[in-house]
Amino acid sequence: MKNLKNILFSSLIILIIFSCSKDEIIDEIGEEEEEIVIDDTDFEATDWTTETHSKDADPNFDEVFEDNAVKRLDLVITAARWQSMLDDMTATYGTFGSGGGQGGLVDSDENPIFVPGEVFYEGKEWYRVGLRFKGNSSLQSSWKSGILKLSFKLDFDEFEDDYPQIKNQRFYGFKKLSLKNNYEDKSMLREKVATDVFRNAGLAASHTAFYKVYVDHGDGPKYFGLYTLVEEVDDTVIDTQFSDDNGNLYKPDGDAASFAAGTFNESEYEKKTNEDEADFMDVSNLLSVLHDGTRTTDAATWRTSLEAVLDTDVFLKYLAVNTVIQNWDTYGRMTHNYFLYNNPENSKLTWIPWDNNEALQTGKQGGSHALNFSGLNASQWPLIGYLYQDEVYKEKYDAYVKETIEGAFNETTIQSLYTSYAVLIESAATSEVAGYTFLRNSSDFQTAVNQLKSHVSSRKTSVENYLK
């Protein structure tokens, strides 16, 4: 019956082509597509192996997140599904290329739509993978600027209910991955290097790697540019970097994400695990303890209470690293771009950095905070302000600042890393094409790399002056 339908549909198209104008052809095909649904469920996953596609395989970090390589991913999406993705973007954010940049961004709680598509890597196919655009301001600004190099979210078993052949499909052990478009980063290194620094400092953070991305949406593969592949926190980060992945994982966003007094709002602590359990006691307790009166009357008692609900050592180390490298687009300036994980091992909320494409620069939106947080409104950002005001926590923070500049963000080490990464990606970066790049010309790339090298030297000087 399916073959008969396909034959009838093909015959109909041929008749339309010989009897209609171009506009009529498009109208007629659209009408028939509404009436005849082509069944794409009848396929065999011939490339499926346990190692490459199965949930039973452990995540293969060496294969997927190789540091010293630029690999290639091909995304294949039917023309109709690609158009549905573009139509969804238009409905939410306006006409592609309409201008506006950072200004006039749309506040939307809805993610772009998923569609099934194929992913090809090293000659192997992954089937009916959930593909969608991702991001917030970077997504909107790229779209409005007429740049189609948009970030993607990949979910390898998103459509397993529709396609039983892909039940629990994984990409070398990974269920979800993000392809970041390196928005407004002409070096295309900041996401990668910043995350390297967090991980090398001993903090839980995503693995990253460089990939050339090609998209075929009906006219053959098109080079969409050099992307940074990022490991998802709610997938393998908590599974592999913690002893237990059953705790509450939050991705806060909104006023409540500041932890200022009176801001608690469950809806702004988006749960990424245990979503069906209406238990937000851990974040509620953190807010209560943070603002308890003992902070100013009995600091030792306050610290004891705080350390029962928050891994303060992890937060202070994160704060030191984040401030040394100057990452402004997160807590302290913006109420987003971090995760909190209630680690079952100690029942403490643990800070996990996320989305680092704006790191390694003085920054926008008022810029990054000084190492001593001069000008910070402590009551507005109490996790920084209150802890830095406490002499015990300030001493720990200062020690982590010194450790960061001598270790994970050591000037000589990072200068060498910039050089090696720049050589690695230069060809892929400078071969991006108009409409799929943030570069105005190839010299933009090397200029941006040189700025990064100057930045790490300036940060060494700033830390030395701060610690005097």
Region of 159 please: left (phi>0), alpha (psi -120 to 50) or beta.
alpha
- Name the 3-class secondary structure at 116: strand
Residues 127-140: tens digit of each pLDDT: 999 999 999 889 99
Cα–Cα distances in angstroms (integers) from residue 435 to residues 168, 222, 432, 439, 440, in the given order:
36, 11, 9, 10, 10
Whole-number Å distance between alpha carbons of 449 and 442: 12
For residue 206, give Cα distances in angstroms to 63, 181, 217, 235, 338.
15, 16, 29, 10, 12
Q: What is the pLDDT of residues 218-249, one digit of tens each?
A: 999 999 999 999 999 999 999 999 999 999 99
For the whole prediction, is pTM greater than 0.85? yes
Computed from CA positions of residues 191, 194, 200, 201, in that sequence, does the dihedral angle turn out positive or negative? Answer: negative
Residue 210's nearest CA partner among 438, 411, 370, 421 is: 421
Residues of the chain under the 50 pLDDT cut? 1-36
**pLDDT score at 365:** 76
pLDDT at 110: 87
What does the pLDDT read at residue 364? Answer: 80
pLDDT at 109: 77
Per-residue pLDDT, 259:
98
